[in-house]
Amino acid sequence: MTKRPWLLFALITTVFWGIWGALTEIPEKSGFPATLGYIIWSLTMIPCAIAGLAVIKWKLERDYKSVIYGMIIGLLGAGGQLLLFHALVKGPAYLVFPIISLSPMVTVIISIIFLHETTSKRHWIGISLALISILLMSYQEPHSDNKFGGYLWFILALFVFMAWGIQAFFMKIANNRMKAESIFFYMMISGLLLSPFAYMMTDISQPINWGFKGPYLAAMIQVLNAIGALMLVYAIRYGKVIIVAPLANAVAPIITIILSLIIYAVIPNPIIIFGMLIAMIAVYLIAE
């Protein structure tokens, strides 16, 4: 693992994101809106950013290009998160998530074209299997009562798909010229800047749970996402983005599904189980 630090950071990301995915709905189901959960998430980025700056002895890169790269990465990530909330209001999750979860395809394609990244045949097989597993594990059974109409959800899902795929690409470019800690600092700033929009998207006329299962539990859960995001920046710094992106997106759902099975006692669809098996094979091929 010490010879491949990118793998260690990528695995931390996937573990934290996997746990986050299994727990993130608890505050919302307890009466704390997901849009306010976004605001809490943006606040949990602050201590992670401070810890990162402490590592580099507070030497934040403030030159023009560093600020531009950092803000592009941050706005693509945070903006995609906001659009995802709206997409799930307008369209069914069983169609939205399969589209978004394939964002590593965008990262892989543009990294090959512009960064000329290459890897072994074994890794290519693993990447391909990871992308297939992401699609399978995102499967959700459609409900008979289809309350959705129009194509706005599809357009929004495509925007998130492109935003997150391009974000990982820019992370790699930025890591070649600036510190990962500086990148994350600007990601934190971007997340905070979009918080007012999240608040405006919140239906404040509805009852909101301000107790422990509301903002406090949300903070404990969202900090897992924030730490995972910081580790992802490190993983992309030390590894190839065409490997890191599919790996992170393939393994995290496995952890989410397993924990959800334990917490909610829900047996996954056979398609999802098949996707998990493919993902485990992909992880073995990629990590070798």
120-147: pLDDT as tens digits = 888 788 888 878 887 787 676 665 455 5
For the chain, residues with pLDDT lower than 70 are 1-3, 89, 92-95, 98, 138, 140-150, 266, 287-288
Q: Tell which residue, 279, 287, 288, has the closest CA to residue 18.
A: 279
105 by DSSP, 3-state: which? helix
213 by DSSP, 3-state: which? helix
CA neighbours within 13 Å on the CB side: how many for 53?
15
Residue 126 token pair: 């693993």
**From CA 60, how far away is CA 49, in angstroms rounded?**
11
Per-residue pLDDT, 288: 56
pTM: 0.83
Q: Give the single-character DSSP code of 269.
A: P
Per-residue pLDDT, 260: 77
**From CA 199, how far away is CA 203, in angstroms rounded?**
9
Per-residue pLDDT, 122: 83
**From CA 201, how far away is CA 118, in angstroms rounded?**
42
CA neighbours within 13 Å on the CB side: how many for 183?
28
177 by DSSP, 3-state: which? coil
Residue whose entry in the numeric block shows the structure tokens 């394939």: 102
